[in-house]
Amino acid sequence: KSPLIYPDKLPKIEYPSYFDVRRVRNTGVIYWGNGQVYITHNLKDQYVGMDEVDDGVFDIYYSIHRIGQFDIRNNKPNCVNYWTVKV
């Protein structure tokens, strides 16, 4: 048994007011605009923050940690709107 005491529930993560905050679904995606962005299954039911760092380019944060980036400009015409995060 560990001598460390862990909380039953983690405290709510606060993001800067200019971040767009989204909940990661059971499938590991967040919904954004008319599409989906795959983040990771490991963060299901957690909230991530999106910071637009350039026109159409978003850094993804979990708490204070930048976990990746996605670029909506990389979507090909006539393609389903589904992006993955570059880590």
Pairing type for strands 35-38 and 57-62 reads: unpaired
Does residue 52 lie in a domain region?
A: yes
User: Closest Cα partner for 64 from 53, 51, 54?
Assistant: 51
pLDDT for residue 53: 95
pLDDT for residue 83: 64
pTM (two decimals): 0.79
pLDDT for residue 77: 46
Does residue 14 lie in a domain region?
A: no
> In the chain, which stretches have pLDDT less than 50?
77-78
> How many distinct structural domains can be found in the chain?
1
3-state class of 15 per DSSP? coil
Does residue 12 lie in a domain region?
A: no
12 Cβ contact list (under 8 Å, min separation 6)? none
Does residue 38 lie in a domain region?
A: yes
Does residue 4 lie in a domain region?
A: no
Does residue 11 lie in a domain region?
A: no
The residue range of the domain holding 74 is 20-84
Does residue 2 lie in a domain region?
A: no
Rounded Cα distance, 15 and 81, in Å: 26
